[in-house]
Structure 1
Amino acid sequence: MYNKNVDQSSIIGLFLILFVITFFTYFFDNEHKKNDFIKEKLQYKNFSLIKKDQIKNNEDYTFLENKVLKIKISNKGGEINNVFLKKYKAYNPTFSNHSKNLHLINDSSLSYKILFPNKKGFYNIHSTNLIFRPFIFSSKENKILIMKAENPNVKNQDFLEYVYILGNKNQYHIDFFIRTKNFPLKKGLPFELEQKIFSFEKDRNWENSYTKSYYSIYNNNNSEITSVKSFSEKNTEEKRISDLNWIAHKQQFFTSIFIPEKPLKDIFVYSENFTYGKCLKKIGWKTFLNIDKDKKKDENFNFSFRFYFGPLDFNLLKEYKNNYENIIPFGWGFLKWINKYFFLVIFQFLEKTNLNYGIIIILMTIVVKLILSPITYRQYKLSAIMKLIHPEIEELNKKYKNEDTLKKQRAIMELYQKAGINPMSGCISTLFQIPIFYSLFKFFPTIINLRGKSFLWVDDLTSYDSILELPFSIPFYGSHVSLLTLLYSLALLAYTKLSNDGRKNNIQQNDNENVISDMNFILYLMPVIMLLFINSYASALSLYYFISNIINIGLMFFIKKIMLNNKKIFIKIRKENRKHISWKKLIKQLLDKNKNNITG
């Protein structure tokens, strides 16, 4: 009889993998220290004025620029109108590559305003309607832009200032200060911010599934301990949040993070999803910038933010020491730890070789396989031993054919102990590899270093590769043919066939033939399922799994033909069997044999 226990363990593992794939497809140190924000009025004596102030009309803009950012600020409303990331490109469908200039914010896709009360207490003064006059100052470390607007109701007495400070080096954050003089104030000033998030990648739907809002809140009454949470990537949501540390509007590879100087006690956040068009999502929030109770009515108001406009680079975000790196979706729970402290470490180490990223992924696959080789060896060894003891299992099946099933299973387990194996170890090994399998689904589509990198016919390793566009769409599969996915499925099919050849030789006609046939059907169905499910996933994932299965086939031949000596294993099992035969059983066997001889 075919070894049922081992196959059940393998089938359990396969079902768990299928469940993970289905679930994934369908259900898809606090930074603001005292020196991070200017607490007092800016001192201009260390800066040189490089542009004189002049009254601007509604169409004029002022620019701040460093090595990685170019920011355009409108004189109407004093808002950031455009953010250009110099080191990155957006996907250009005309040339099928990343060659367009990447404007994280464009055409006033980011808007923010403060509402001020008039003398009667009504909030009818909107900062977006004010005309600001720019003053630019420069030093070796920073560029400072001061945008100054007068109160339209009281000329030359009340004014509002927006101050932007941008570092001259590779700095993706900009400090933003709000200051007033003699503006009418109440207990709090309403502040509203809204951003439309655009698509920059090849697959809009795939990109949209990674686009959502993350936020960090303080725990235990504004202690240093914070937690990071997120909105849904699919649904339109509204949420009221207390004690906000920061909020991020995240895309697949880029993000805008807004960090207030002080925790925002009460903030209303909304997120709206768009299925079609250039815009992926619209994320906005409203809050009150509170004024200290002991301040007089006509006293000046000061509040500051820090804005981050840049890539989702793990090391870069980690330098800010405010848990920004946690918005990179490496997975949930222990899967995140596998990606952050296993795959990412290996990837960054191999990245230092400066090889093509496709070669790096191949090397990464080899390294991971070498690390996991002890588990692979134990699996193949278990398979080889089970094949050797198959005749003994058949004898036990015949012996206990008409007896209690529990008694037969106990006898089979004793045989396993004599052979020195645990049939459940195959299931445990499979379960151990499931987190590795699923973690890669989250790893490759989130690594910005792979974005736009080509390999052979692949133009972007973080998106699917396509060798043929179909005139129709196939459910689950899509409207394109991915060659890497096809190669992976064929390699998986070959590996499955080679793995089952030995088992087929041992199958005999019995009552469980239909069960065994169903098990084999599920095993051979797996390559087809993978072909359907990952056709639109990152090509780096398909490349990894293709190389992984090629290595599996090579390891299977190497271990079975060279490392495992079937003859030695068979002799060891026989010795163990003789050790476990008791003297009473041996004497009884000899007496029965002699008795038969005398009778004959």
Structure 2
Amino acid sequence: MKDKNLDYNSIIGLILISFVLIIFTYINNNNSNFRKQDFNRKEFFTKKEIFITEKDKRKKNNFFLLENNVLKLKISSLGGGINEVLLKKYKAYDSLLSYHAKNLYLIKNYSFLYKLSFLNQEGLNIDTNTLYFQPFSLEKDEISGIQTLIMRAKNPYGKGFLDYIYTIGKKNQYDIGFSIQTRNFPFFKKKGFYLNLEHKMLSLEKDRDWENSYTQVYYSVSNDNSNGSSASVKYLSEKKTEDINIYKANWIAHKQQFFSFIFVPEKVLKNVFVRSENFSSGSFLKKIQFRTFINTEKNKEFHLSFRLYFGPLDLNLLKKYQNGFENIIPFGWGFLKWINKYFFLIVFQFLEKTNLNYGLIIVLMTIVVKLILSPITYKQYKLSAMMKLIRPEIEKLNYKYREDVFKRQRAIMELYHNVGINPMSGCISALFQIPIFYSLFKFFPTLINLRGKSFFWVEDLTSYDSILKLPFFIPFYGNHVSLLTLLYSSALLFYTKLSNNGKRDFSQKESDISSIPNMNFILYLMPIVMLLFINSYASALSLYYLTSNMINIGFFFFIKELMLDEKKIFEKIQEKKIIKRNSWKKIIKEISNKRDRNATE
């Protein structure tokens, strides 16, 4: 049979990449079956008895605005809470127009509720979400531009007031101050109160299921040790309904794909119960609730302060808060996170300064990465060429020692050593590129700079491109056809065929030794695997891989035709074999002569 010139190191690399893809896709797309749990703890925002006068029942719910350059908040008089949060510089996806065109509300129509719950001296329960708050004062500092709104509610059982105090900066600040303060309020029966919060997170992106897979709770906890204290960032499952008790919470974040709400108390919360519940359909992604008991000093008024962040997941912006907020951006785990943060992001931000279309920036980014990796690519091609040239010798050894596996392997390794080939170097090169390959799966879908950016027919580079909607769903593939994925898979198929076209080297002849032609199937399986598994991924990922394979094809011709002279490589291999053989003979001769001298003495 004809020699197929297989590069077994490439096969190993492709098998590993396929395995990583299968595991990755299974982990990220297994959202259909959510865990159902019985929530046997006390439910949040349950209806409780409270005395409300007829005058209160006739009150109308009014709204009051606070805004700066980037935020617009609507405060409700009923409950004194935030009814709406509009991000001025961003848009939500409009399914009718097929691009980001709607006003982006992180909170809308009471999707975000919070309340205090406590007992007064008579043991009567007070829930602040049933109280009517009125604007007591609205002040603006002319120097700093900070606006302060005080919403005041009267004690329904007697004297005293409860104030909600909101502060917002004039400039591009995405966080606001929120304080709770009592005024001449009768002392509580218990030293403290419960703070409850419920947040139904709105869907803002094109692919709801994909967006939901990036929506979850993150939180920071204090870790006390002998050297002081430190903090670690943890998270709840993005797929399953889950609840947890958090001890010593520094902050709690309700993270979406590109935006987040972060609750930052002035003091560490000693014990917080958090529950995250998934919605499989509708306009909401998840419902997140938390409840904590806050102690107050006996017979004293209390004044608590918080910071509330409503804004984008922008790495540079979050770093400015110096609270570890940037760790909620899911760049990947372990060293993959470092590759994304300290390599891909730096390259991307540098190219972003060119002010080119973001699709072209991705193309340039691919070129930069391929140039950096070109020495590895060259070594792989050179190793592949050398392996093809010594293939006839390997087949002779396979035939000679066909019944003794140990001798055959030893003879082949000796051949590799004689010609100066390290067979593991190709596999190591392939393994080196797998982290880069995988890290991009986390990089593009979380990069807010690409959100809503178009490129030719692509509407949004952080979501899939679709040229045809299918009337049915194909497992793993989806219910749409992505043109970029088709182009990438075609380019990968062409490159696979090109690099494994079965051409025999000038030194190779026909052989009766059988090869393994079915191993070619593994090589040609990869384009099919990629077609299935990245059809619903960010189109920026498909664009990157399409460009990468086009560059690979160009490298193939450039290196093979201009840089690699297979005739010279073959001559060097023969020279090395002769040198190694002569060296070995010289060593044997020296040992023999030494033995003869010892014998005569």
State the alpha-carbon separation in 2 of the partners of residues 249 and 271 from structure 1: 10
| Equivalent residue, structure 2, for 1:164 | 166
Summarize the alignment of residues 402-481 of structure 1 with structure 2, pairs less than 5 Å apart. 402=403, 404-481=404-481
Matched, 1:396 2:397: yes
State the alpha-carbon separation in 1 of the partners of residues 153 and 419 from structure 2: 86
| Equivalent residue, structure 2, for 1:203 | 207
| TM-aligned CA distance change 1:407 to 1:454, over 3 Å | same
State the alpha-carbon separation in 1 of the partners of residues 128 and 311 from structure 2: 26
| Equivalent residue, structure 2, for 1:213 | 217
Summarize the alignment of residues 148-547 of structure 1 with structure 2, pairs less than 5 Å apart. 148-154=152-158, 157-183=159-185, 184-185=187-188, 186-220=190-224, 223-291=228-296, 295-297=297-299, 299-402=300-403, 404-502=404-502, 513=515, 516-547=516-547
State the alpha-carbon separation in 2 of the partners of residues 445 and 372 from structure 1: 23
State the alpha-carbon separation in 1 of the partners of residues 433 and 567 from structure 2: 30
State the alpha-carbon separation in 2 of the partners of residues 382 and 475 from structure 1: 39
State the alpha-carbon separation in 1 of the partners of residues 14 and 583 from structure 2: 44
State the alpha-carbon separation in 1 of the partners of residues 568 and 340 from structure 2: 40
| Equivalent residue, structure 2, for 1:136 | 138
CA contact (8 A) 2:118 2:192 kept: no
Other structure's SS at 2:251 match = strand
CA contact (8 A) 1:57 1:75 kept: no
| Equivalent residue, structure 2, for 1:147 | 151
The answer for unaligned runs of 5 or more in structure 1 is 29-55, 590-600
CA contact (8 A) 1:236 1:272 kept: yes
| TM-aligned CA distance change 1:63 to 1:406, over 3 Å | same
State the alpha-carbon separation in 1 of the partners of residues 211 and 510 from structure 2: 51
| TM-aligned CA distance change 1:285 to 1:473, over 3 Å | same
CA contact (8 A) 2:15 2:522 kept: no
Shift of 1:588: 12
| TM-aligned CA distance change 1:584 to 1:300, over 3 Å | closer
One-letter amino acid matched to 1:254: F
- The alignment-based identity, stated in percent, is 64
| TM-aligned CA distance change 1:306 to 1:221, over 3 Å | farther
CA contact (8 A) 1:116 1:125 kept: yes
| TM-aligned CA distance change 1:429 to 1:191, over 3 Å | same
State the alpha-carbon separation in 2 of the partners of residues 586 and 296 from structure 1: 96
Other structure's SS at 1:449 match = helix
Cα deviation digits, residues 147-199 of structure 1 (max 9, x gap): 11111111xx3111111110000000001111112332322210000100010
Shift of 1:8: 4.0
Cα deviation digits, residues 310-352 of structure 1 (max 9, x gap): 0011111111111111111111111111111111110011001
Other structure's SS at 2:581 match = coil
Cα deviation digits, residues 388-426 of structure 1 (max 9, x gap): 222322333343345x22222222212212222211111
One-letter amino acid matched to 1:351: E
| Equivalent residue, structure 1, for 2:99 | 97
| TM-aligned CA distance change 1:587 to 1:90, over 3 Å | closer
State the alpha-carbon separation in 2 of the partners of residues 574 and 200 from structure 1: 65
Shift of 1:559: 0.8
One-letter amino acid matched to 1:348: Q
| TM-aligned CA distance change 1:509 to 1:159, over 3 Å | farther
State the alpha-carbon separation in 1 of the partners of residues 513 and 127 from structure 2: 82
State the alpha-carbon separation in 2 of the partners of residues 23 and 102 from structure 1: 34
State the alpha-carbon separation in 1 of the partners of residues 409 and 113 from structure 2: 71
Other structure's SS at 1:580 match = helix
Alignment RMSD: 2.3
| Equivalent residue, structure 2, for 1:548 | 548
State the alpha-carbon separation in 1 of the partners of residues 141 and 418 from structure 2: 80
Matched, 1:59 2:61: yes
The answer for unaligned runs of 5 or more in structure 2 is 29-57, 590-601
One-letter amino acid matched to 1:361: I
| Equivalent residue, structure 2, for 1:44 | none
Shift of 1:585: 5.0
TM-score under structure 1 length normalisation: 0.88
State the alpha-carbon separation in 2 of the partners of residues 171 and 69 from structure 1: 8
Shift of 1:20: 1.1
Other structure's SS at 2:138 match = strand
State the alpha-carbon separation in 1 of the partners of residues 564 and 380 from structure 2: 12
Segment drifting more, 227-236 vs 353-362: 227-236
State the alpha-carbon separation in 1 of the partners of residues 274 and 332 from structure 2: 24
State the alpha-carbon separation in 2 of the partners of residues 587 and 341 from structure 1: 51
State the alpha-carbon separation in 1 of the partners of residues 526 and 295 from structure 2: 58
CA contact (8 A) 1:5 1:423 kept: no
Shift of 1:507: 9.5
Cα deviation digits, residues 62-120 of structure 1 (max 9, x gap): 11110000001011111011000000000011111100000110001110000121222
| TM-aligned CA distance change 1:565 to 1:163, over 3 Å | same
Other structure's SS at 1:535 match = coil
One-letter amino acid matched to 1:275: S
Cα deviation digits, residues 539-560 of structure 1 (max 9, x gap): 0000000000000010011111
State the alpha-carbon separation in 1 of the partners of residues 152 and 301 from structure 2: 14
Shift of 1:220: 1.3
CA contact (8 A) 1:150 1:160 kept: yes
| TM-aligned CA distance change 1:5 to 1:500, over 3 Å | closer
TM-score under structure 2 length normalisation: 0.88
State the alpha-carbon separation in 2 of the partners of residues 508 and 477 from structure 1: 42
State the alpha-carbon separation in 1 of the partners of residues 255 and 566 from structure 2: 56
CA contact (8 A) 1:110 1:194 kept: yes
Shift of 1:528: 0.8
CA contact (8 A) 1:467 1:482 kept: yes
CA contact (8 A) 2:5 2:388 kept: no
State the alpha-carbon separation in 1 of the partners of residues 23 and 15 from structure 2: 12
CA contact (8 A) 2:198 2:290 kept: yes
Shift of 1:568: 2.0
Cα deviation digits, residues 558-582 of structure 1 (max 9, x gap): 1111111222212211211111124
CA contact (8 A) 1:6 1:426 kept: no
Shift of 1:296: 3.2
CA contact (8 A) 2:119 2:126 kept: yes
State the alpha-carbon separation in 2 of the partners of residues 385 and 413 from structure 1: 14
One-letter amino acid matched to 1:192: N
One-letter amino acid matched to 2:412: I
Shift of 1:6: 7.4
